[in-house]
């Protein structure tokens, strides 16, 4: 199971959530929610072998807890779809969400979170090229922070990876990938050109053979 715990919150108030695992991470998620600034942001917190990814926008926070093996691309794709579903749900809802109490939407939107988590854990959507390009463009907005012993000692949350070093490594990886793609395209074009040349020679030989024979000796004899 890649995605373990997901929720939608207003500020630090959880409106709806779904937990797929047996272990309770409520205190960890509450601690992270209390640290999220009111402005729009995207962030990943690291704790043990788990990653807490969130998107905060328009006063609402969309958070998912995932295994470290899931990386960051798939969880943030999940959060984007979760955000779209919640916006559609809010637009269709007749009640106001401006001052909703805790778990006010658990009965109505909780099943939506559960179904979406199940979809991503069983048959995640295909990794389309356009989606990957969009996420690469947005990676500069994502920082990684470390949460160590937040349940036992309540230590101050510190940066795990310096933003500058993180951006530099991302840029290096992107350039390396771009060089690999260019090299692959060059070899592909070279093979196509070589194949085209061979086909052209075979075609010329076929035309010439119709008049001079397969060994082209008849034309020499005529001359």
Same domain membership, residue 173 and residue 149: no
SS3 letters for 51-66?
EEEEEEECCEEEEEEE
Same domain membership, residue 35 and residue 100: yes
Which structural domain, as residue segments, surrounds residue 168?
157-213
Residue 179 to residue 177: CA distance in whole angstroms = 5
Same domain membership, residue 130 and residue 185: no
Same domain membership, residue 170 and residue 124: no
**Which pTM was predicted?**
0.58
Same domain membership, residue 192 and residue 177: yes
In a domain, 219, yes or no: no
Residue 53 to residue 29: CA distance in whole angstroms = 10
Collect contacts of 32-39 with beta carbons under 8 A, ≥24 apart: 32/63, 32/147, 33/9, 33/61, 33/63, 35/157, 36/12, 36/61, 38/11
Give the end of a domain, one of 131, 155, 179.
155
Q: Are 57 and 37 in contact (CB under 8 A)?
A: no
pLDDT in tens, the chain (223 residues): 689 999 999 988 999 999 887 778 888 888 889 888 888 999 998 887 789 999 999 889 999 999 888 888 889 999 999 999 999 998 887 555 666 788 999 999 999 999 999 999 888 776 555 565 666 666 655 655 555 555 555 444 444 445 555 666 676 777 787 788 888 888 888 888 888 888 888 888 788 877 776 666 666 555 5
Same domain membership, residue 113 and residue 71: yes
Cα separation values, 7 from 70, 103, 132, 160, Å: 18, 10, 24, 24
CATH number for position 148: 3.30.450.50
- The string of DSSP letters for 87-115 reads HHHHHH-SS--TTPPTTTTHHHHHHHHHH
Q: How many domains does the chain have?
A: 2
């Amino acid at each position: 199971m890649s995605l373990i715990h997901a929720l939608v919150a207003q500020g630090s108030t959880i409106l709806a959530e779904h937990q797929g695992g047996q272990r309770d991470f409520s205190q960890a998620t509450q601690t992270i929610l209390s640290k999220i600034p009111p402005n729009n942001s995207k962030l990943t917190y690291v704790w043990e072998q788990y990653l807490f990814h969130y998107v905060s926008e328009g006063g609402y926070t969309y958070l998912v807890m995932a295994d470290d093996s899931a990386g960051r691309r798939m969880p943030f794709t999940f959060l984007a779809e979760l955000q779209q579903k919640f916006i559609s749900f809010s637009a269709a809802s007749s009640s106001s969400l401006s001052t909703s109490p805790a778990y006010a939407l658990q009965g109505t939107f909780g099943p939506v979170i559960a179904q979406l988590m199940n979809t991503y854990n069983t048959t995640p959507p295909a990794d389309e090229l356009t989606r990957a390009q969009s996420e690469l463009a947005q990676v500069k907005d994502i920082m990684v922070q470390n949460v160590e012993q937040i349940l036992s000692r309540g230590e101050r949350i510190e940066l795990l990876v310096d933003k500058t070093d993180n951006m530099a490594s991302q840029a290096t990886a992107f350039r390396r990938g771009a060089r690999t793609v260019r090299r692959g395209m060059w070899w592909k074009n070279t093979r196509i050109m070589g194949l085209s040349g061979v086909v052209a020679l075979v075609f010329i030989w076929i035309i010439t053979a119709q008049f001079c024979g397969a060994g082209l000796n008849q034309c020499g004899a005529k001359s």
